[in-house]
Amino acid sequence: MKLLIIEDEKDLSDSICLYLGSEQFSCETAYDYHSALDKILINEYACIILDLTLPHGSGLDILTQLKLLNKTEGVLIISAKNSLDDRIKGLNSGADDYLTKPFHLSELGARVAAIVRRKSFEGKTHIVVGPLILDLSERILRSGDEQITLTRKEYELLLYLLSNKNKVVTKEAIVEHLWGDDIDMADSYDFIYSHIKNLRKKLMASGCPDYIKAVYGMGYKFSLNNSIS
């Protein structure tokens, strides 16, 4: 699957590429309006990451062009503008999601994954993790026939970690994702430890390996590679 990153800041574009690029995704980049349009005309993308302020044009115009071309690519806007009006304008122009700069790459990862899931043909509603199946439509986790009950926060946490699998996700990013941006608890993120602990216990009780690794001082990593090997 291909992703297109339309962002004029090369440094940021590179970071996104490096983070999202994996065996699942390959990334292409466009740094201005015209090259972005060219790429859109030729290729099909699983998701387009779009900055609104571009050289030679506006990101909103690209959205209009996509509509005119009857393209159904999922679009995630990344913008420095963070007011409700800007969001609404972006979403009304056909974008699927709106993320304000500066963002955590893990947050971007989760949003892109969600868009890709929604847009994929089969309407993918399951994520398979080793012996586990996360049912997104019913928001439950299954292990074979057995159902593992998760709290709302545990479910969201698991989904977030899965969307960024094999990546270190900071506690800060987890708190912002689960509790929102306006919860400004700069002091300590320790309280998420108990959520992680409970989730880990539930996963291990259902017989799957300990996927969730703590990364000292930083955060957590849902590590599939290590457990497989």
Q: Which residues bind other proteins (CB under 8 A)?
A: 9, 11-12, 15-16, 18-19, 78, 80-85, 100-106, 167-168, 170, 172, 179-180, 182-188, 190-191, 215-219
Q: Residue 198 class from Cβ within 10 Å (0-12 exposed, 13-18 middle, 19+ buried)?
A: middle
Strands 47-51 and 140-143: unpaired
The angle at the Cα of 53, spanning 50 to 58, to the nearest 5 degrees, equals 80
55-to-27, 28, 37, 103, 192 alpha-carbon distances in Å? 20, 18, 12, 22, 41
Cβ 201 to other proteins shortest distance, Å: 19
* C-beta of 2 vs 81, nearer to other proteins: 81
**Shortest separation between residue 143's beta carbon and other proteins, angstroms:** 27
* Shortest distance (Å) from residue 128 CB to other proteins: 24
With a CB cutoff of 8 Å and minimum separation 6, the contacts of 31 are: 6, 7, 8, 10, 13, 55
Min. distance of Cβ 125 from other proteins in angstroms? 28
Q: How far apart are CA 139 and CA 49, in angstroms?
A: 26
* Residue (123 or 180) nearer to other proteins, CB: 180
Tell me whether residue 19 or residue 118 sits nearer to other proteins (CB atom).
Answer: 19
Closest contact distance (angstroms) between CB of 131 and other proteins is 26
Taking the complex as a whole, the smallest distance from the CB of residue 4 to other proteins amounts, in Å, to 17
- Closer residue to other proteins, CB minimum distance, 205 or 218: 218
What is the secondary structure of 11-70 as a DSSP string?
HHHHHHHHHH-SSS-EEEEE-SHHHHHHHHHH---SEEEEESEETTEEHHHHHHHHHHTT
Complex with other proteins: residue 65 or 227, whichever CB lies closer:
227
CB of 209 to other proteins, least distance (A): 19
Nearest residue (CB) to other proteins, 106 versus 143:
106
Spatial separation of the C-alpha atoms in residues 26 and 123, rounded to whole Å: 21
Q: Is 127 helix (H, G, I), strand (E, B) or coil?
A: strand
Closer of 6 and 134 to other proteins (Cβ): 6
